[in-house]
Amino acid sequence: MSEDIKKIMFTVRKAPHGTIYVYEGLEVKLIMAAYDADISVVFMDDGVLALKQGQNTDELGIKGFEKTYGVFVDYEIENVFVDRQSMEDRGMTADDLLVIGEDEETEAPIKPKVVDSKEIAAMMAEQHNIMAF
């Protein structure tokens, strides 16, 4: 039997730091990236707030994860999307988004791709499984 690569989507819909969901959800993504699966991550609703650059959790005494998001591309997590409406609803623009890696050749920073809800809905329909993380 041929092993076809399964498409797995993660949806991040919660704000960072107020609860542990985004942090522990990140651990799942990093593990799953090591397996043979076609992974995508979609940030929507309050999840887009986890992508704001310049997060500093020092005074909270917690680890934070902006640096870890910064190496997504190194982990081969390249299909990272942001829901445009969720971002605009929260007064964010693409400039506010943190960097998820850099282009191997040009070293240009790579940012999550801003897409419309219709595109996300279409991607959802193609997945093998979708995990709310």
In the list 26, 41, 44, 92, the residue contacting other proteins (rule: CB under 8 A) is 44
**What phi and psi values does residue 91 have, to the nearest 5 degrees?**
70, 20
The C-alpha torsion from 12 through 33 and 95 to 16, rounded to 10°, is 40
Among 123, 70, 133, 76, which residue's Cα sits nearest to residue 97?
70
Residue 122 Cβ, how far from other proteins at the closest point, in Å? 7
Residue 66 Cβ, how far from other proteins at the closest point, in Å? 20
Stretch that binds other proteins, among 7-15, 58-66, 71-79, 94-102 (CB under 8 A): 7-15
Q: Does 85 bind other proteins (CB under 8 A)?
A: yes
